[in-house]
Structure 1
């Protein structure tokens, strides 16, 4: 049995939905279908989820909502018209969307979550109607009916362990496709809560684990996961197969196909994930598997990613390595401000702490540095905003001895300063810190070294 998920671009128009229907019909093992909300039809278009957020905000502000409701319904109406569905389908969607304004919510956060979730929910109902019209028996399933339970905050939910027990005891109906809305679940009090990032991907991964799927197929708008960002390198090599931990490392550092947290449930369930293209479904895509299923990769490098969302705090103090409790005091200061750090490479007299700058603001940075100076008395302290991290990732790195040297040579020979270099504890990733302006060129030079020169 396979769980398949379609992204927003794959369900944005009637033409795209027709492709999804063909994909579903092409394989009887594709039993569970997870929907996203309709995405952008053009680069300047607005996602339905963003329209729903506007709808929620207008309700909260007690503003007129007729115009935004019509704008949302028009997106679904266009898809319905493409398939010439019975008018009863759109009537049902309209009633659900308008009924939101009559419901009471625990607070405004829960209201926002419930409104946002409608994009996936309405699309699941619509796709179910389309499948049945096309002669493919299908059933819409609301997450609440199968005990898809979450905890956490209304707009940053986490799956509860009870969900997996509930899914394991749920019997899939025979000879019918299940259409399941992504992005949200229900709290134990019955309130809708949404996942923060990669929501529909997370739902697909949870269902794959809970239902013990043989494969989780994630349909998007690219043929495969590329070895490097196509905005940096034109027409890069595709990745045929990669491990879960390679995907996690690359997603963390900027790969956009998956959010780094989205496939954790699939990893926990050891479910292979196949990233495929809705617009080219016969392409093999990229298979993401447990690392023990990888056999002697020809290239030590699987992928290269970079991100400039980081900042760094550099500390220098003589005999730092001799002082007991120095790092503990530093971590206590981070705890005071509710901060987690990303990396902490160190030397005998030096320490660099790397942060996700999205979690910081100027006042916090100012107070953080003040407390560190007061408490730890460093000889030198510098806050560095001009910081990018490049992750070079591959299961083969652990089994080769010259990868690090080749990376360093590729950068130094092209006058790119390395601010930090560190090999991860797993030995499958090498992290390089550079100035932001140097990051794209650094990625290109590393790519050329391992994917161009290696082919010559």
Structure 2
């Protein structure tokens, strides 16, 4: 069996039908994120839940209700969503922020379980944290291993504390939940479904139709994640690497995707990423030709010298610190030259 994790875009009301068509008898654990955005500019459920926790504004709660009613209505799911929403609202009023933030994943998982006829598994009963909110590796492993060979749906991103409360991973932590269930239920593959075709050589939001890498190593994936690539949480790589479990990052609309395993991408230049830190944009280039990489980075820095603060050159990854995002300029220098 294999484990599949579906991100928020996949579980949005008009996209859930694709998720339901992908779930088959070979899938053991199905891990889902909170119902995602329906259109550009739409608000994320997790952001709305956080806002409701802070303000207790009824208008905010109505937006959350509308999202889940739409999810159920569009996909013909036989579940009493009004009852679920009322129950969660009551529980949120007496709980902390972590509990409130976890409600999106819980509701989505219950809807997907109802739509597929699968068992719903409560993440708080299997993903364990101590009273201080620190991940409990041993207890989580012991509990999740009892789910081996079972078919179920579970919410990502959160778990339960010893005192009965809830705790969450950081944003994007649903990928970590997926890795946990994949490795400790002895899955043969971890498929991570997102809204891009795989790991690209550059951010597809900045560069038109960038190449998708067919394969990449665990170490390369971790580096890209730490440098700003948002396709897979960097901490979701650790457990699969220790277990030598392949991870496939792919689009839920259908694509071959990128396989993350022990075999590195040996292209001269692997990928260009960017993240903002301490007021500067850090554009990073992962490469396999240190000398050529250093020369190209130096050329880019010279061409846009007015916005470049400094450069860092190393054997496998080079970085430009600047006052603007240099993804396009860097991509053009390496891939369009």
Call closer, same or farther: CA 1:403–1:83 in 2, change over 3 Å.
same
3-state SS, counterpart of residue 419 of structure 1:
strand
Where do residues 50-449 of structure 1 align in structure 2 (5 Å cutoff)? 50-59=47-56, 66-86=58-78, 88-101=79-92, 103=94, 105=95, 111-132=96-117, 138-145=118-125, 147-151=126-130, 153-154=132-133, 157-173=134-150, 177-279=151-253, 281=254, 283-290=255-262, 293-294=263-264, 297=266, 299-309=267-277, 357=278, 387-394=280-287, 397=288, 400=289, 402-408=291-297, 410-411=299-300, 414=303, 416=305, 419-423=310-314, 427=315, 429-437=316-324, 439-440=325-326, 443-449=327-333
3-state SS, counterpart of residue 303 of structure 2:
coil
Structure of greater relative contact order (alpha carbons < 8 Å, 6+ residues apart): 2
Q: Which digits, 9 at most, give the CA deviation of each residue in 1:115-171, with x for residues without a partner? A: 110100011111111112xxxxx11001244x32124755xx535332112222444
3-state SS, counterpart of residue 208 of structure 1:
helix
Answer yes or no: is the 8 Å Cα contact 1:275–1:285 preserved in 2: yes
Q: Which moved more, 1:220-229 or 1:66-75?
A: 66-75
| Deviation of 1:253 (Å) | 1.5
Q: TM-score, normalised by structure 2?
A: 0.89
Q: Which digits, 9 at most, give the CA deviation of each residue in 1:151-200, with x for residues without a partner? A: 4755xx53533211222244433xxx310111101112221111122121
Larger radius of gyration: 1
- In structure 1, C-alpha distance between the alignment counterparts of 2:216 and 2:154, rounded to whole Å: 27
Q: TM-score, normalised by structure 1?
A: 0.67
3-state SS, counterpart of residue 285 of structure 2:
strand
| Deviation of 1:268 (Å) | 3.0
Q: Which residue of 1 aligns with 2:19?
A: 20
Q: Which digits, 9 at most, give the CA deviation of each residue in 1:51-103, with x for residues without a partner? A: 211222234xxxxx5443333222111121123344x5224413421331564
Structure 2's unaligned 5+ residue stretches are none
Answer yes or no: is the 8 Å Cα contact 2:4–2:178 preserved in 1: yes
| Deviation of 1:11 (Å) | 0.8
**Count of residue pairs the alignment pairs up:** 335
Answer yes or no: is the 8 Å Cα contact 2:16–2:75 preserved in 1: no
